[in-house]
Structure 1
Amino acid sequence: MTATTEYDRFGPWIDEVTTPDDVPRLYRDHPLDLDAARLVLKVPRNIARRDATADMDLYDHLLVVDATTLTVLSRRAAERARRGVPAVPAGYDVRTVPLTRVVVVQESVDLLDGRLTVRTDDGAALTVRFNGSARTQVTRLVDVLRAGAVVGAPTAVGRALDAAGRAAAPCPLDPGPEDLALVADVTAAVRANPGLVPWACHGRRRLTVRPTGALGLVRLAAHVLSPATVEGAVVAGDGSAVEVLGRSTWVTRGQTPQHSASRLVLPLSRLDTVALTPHPLYADATQVELTLGAAVATIVVPAGSAIESVVAAARAG
């Protein structure tokens, strides 16, 4: 691909790389076996088309998934030397993650702000920012990572959660008029994976601050002007992974309509513990903590909700 061609193709979209000519020139010297790759995506820089020039490196990341690893090539901007700090040359950094060590995959979008986060069993996190308009390609990537991360049979905790979820299923996908987009996301997820069964769900609910002490009263007054809401969510599973579909933030403030979406994927074969704890700030909310190695995924649900009941049943089992 010539500089002009790369510039001509540049836009906010994430493109699949299928031929050597598709590889951005910045990453051309990296050994890349396209025949062995399951999926290769190039993520553009978050700049307006009018600000791009033909001599710029226009792609922030090259994401490569093969049979065993996720490799992320990330553009590195040059930095001049400062007192006591050596210069950093332009180029790119390389991070390689074995798929068998991936325990958490989450993609979220809030209007045009998109994020893909991959966590490994040692607690390390890798985050890639992208334009939310390109979510379709990131969803494909999550599906590929999911397939690679699901290895072996569920743990005892994973089996208990799956059994509790199936006993509660199916949940009626009617969380409320504010969450029609959430219902659409779940419908699309089930269409892509017919084995995925929605276990439990809830719509968005207003939260009450714990009025404890002087600070609690201050918080209570602040929430009168900017109320807190736990956003709607759906928990689903297919025997190999549990998925949580909801918003990019579990608890929001104010009364602005939500236009975000999130998909959290956890392999049941790596699930070590599940825990329920009262939310430290809100009296009618519960924190659900799912531990996978050194990684912890935390979601917030309404106290007494169907999702809380599923997790409680898994713990009891």
Structure 2
Amino acid sequence: MTTASYTSTAEYDAFGPWIDEVTTADEVPPLYRGRPIDFAATILVLKFPRNIARRDATPAMHLYDHLIIVDERALTILGRDGDRFTELSVGFDEIAAINDWVNLLDAQLTIFTLVGDAVIVPYNGSSNDTVVALTDLLRRRAEQTGRTRGLPPEHPPLELDDLGKKDALFVTGFRDLRRREPDIRLLAAHGRVVVRRRGGVLSRIADAVLPITLHGALVAATPTELQVLSRREWFTRGGVPALSRGRTVVSLDALRSVTVAEHPRYLGVSVVTLQVGSTRIPIDVPEGSEAQKALLALR
């Protein structure tokens, strides 16, 4: 059946890969209209489109996978489940961590709660500025209830190529971050390194044919938050170029423990695990690195 078989709608006519702000009841996708929204009391309402090409959309479809509502009390996420939707509401002080990554037009926002729930919201990378603004809004709300803590010593400023030309992204990313947040402190950073697989002869052959790269990362913090700038994946095989960029924000007030262990598959790599409520966030870093020491110092 073609789109010409359907009566067009204003929502279908406006549909695209971008995230739209919702300011009136008429702009709420039909799937979610059974859930009352008091727009006079909301701070921000965003609708996240389905990951489909415009040519594959029809006016009869539910065109939006998520509706995110931020009001004075909580964050509410409505998610499409066939012809129904799920609902999760969490207070700002119940948000354990937020991870956002972009790989060209492929992107994903993940919100972790203290009880271990994780809400994954895929989106088109062209709307990353909107997601960054949403993340910063949630962080500001959480900071109003969070306690502060002391931080490890600050790392000396980084020059553009200090982490290698391929990882200059982290230096420019931190500079942009510091322009927006002057109180953030650089704690540690490292560029990419080639690591070896655990095992015997076959592992050594695999290392020669498809070497494993542990990608760079940057660790920064304020008295209320930890922020880690990284790639989407900690490891890649062979010469696959790394074009992604990601940011993980963790509430220090909710940080219960920081532990370290050897990586089960790669030599010279440590897995630093942040326990935030019931949520566990693993971060892979070179063994004995400044990043490992800075993360452990947050204990």
Normalised by the length of structure 1, the TM-score is: 0.85
Partner of 2:267: 283
Equivalent pair of 1:105/1:146 in contact (CA under 8 Å)? no
Partner of 2:250: 266
Partner of 1:123: 116
Please state how far the C-alpha of 1:171 moved relative to its aligned partner. Answer: 4.3
3-state SS in 1 of match to 2:42? coil
Partner of 2:31: 26
Equivalent pair of 1:197/1:237 in contact (CA under 8 Å)? yes
- Consecutive unaligned residues of structure 1, counting only runs of 5 or more, are 78-89
3-state SS in 2 of match to 1:297? strand
Equivalent pair of 1:245/1:263 in contact (CA under 8 Å)? yes
Partner of 1:80: none
Aligned with 1:242 (options 226, 234, 241): 226
Instruction: Please tell me whether residue 44 in structure 1 is matched to residue 49 in structure 2.
Output: yes
Instruction: Please tell me whether residue 307 in structure 1 is matched to residue 291 in structure 2.
Output: yes
Q: Deviations over 1:111-159 (max 9, x none)?
A: 32211111111112111111122211111111122223332314xxxx3
Equivalent pair of 1:168/1:310 in contact (CA under 8 Å)? no
CA distance in 1, matches of 2:173, 2:42: 27
Partner of 2:4: none
Equivalent pair of 1:68/1:148 in contact (CA under 8 Å)? no
1:222-237 counterparts in 2 under 5 A? 222-237=206-221
Aligned with 2:64 (options 59, 64, 70): 59
CA distance in 2, matches of 1:39, 1:251: 36
Aligned with 1:207 (options 195, 212, 220): 195
Please state how far the C-alpha of 1:309 moved relative to its aligned partner. Answer: 2.3
Partner of 2:180: 192
3-state SS in 2 of match to 1:168? coil
Partner of 1:94: 87
Instruction: Please tell me whether residue 10 in structure 1 is matched to residue 8 in structure 2.
Output: no
**Structure 1 residues 312 and 43, CA gap change in structure 2 (3 angstroms):** closer
CA distance in 2, matches of 1:39, 1:194: 25
Instruction: Please tell me whether residue 136 in structure 1 is matched to residue 129 in structure 2.
Output: yes
Aligned with 2:155 (options 166, 169, 182): 169
Please state how far the C-alpha of 1:50 moved relative to its aligned partner. Answer: 1.0
Instruction: Please tell me whether residue 152 in structure 1 is matched to residue 146 in structure 2.
Output: yes
- Consecutive unaligned residues of structure 2, counting only runs of 5 or more, are 1-6
Please state how far the C-alpha of 1:91 moved relative to its aligned partner. Answer: 2.5
Equivalent pair of 1:171/1:201 in contact (CA under 8 Å)? no
Q: What is the identity percentage for the equivalent residue pairs of Structure 1 and Structure 2?
A: 41
Equivalent pair of 1:170/1:197 in contact (CA under 8 Å)? no
**Structure 1 residues 278 and 97, CA gap change in structure 2 (3 angstroms):** same
Please state how far the C-alpha of 1:187 moved relative to its aligned partner. Answer: 2.3
Please state how far the C-alpha of 1:169 moved relative to its aligned partner. Answer: 2.5
3-state SS in 2 of match to 1:38? strand
CA distance in 1, matches of 2:13, 2:294: 51
Q: Alignment RMSD, CA only?
A: 1.9
Normalised by the length of structure 2, the TM-score is: 0.90
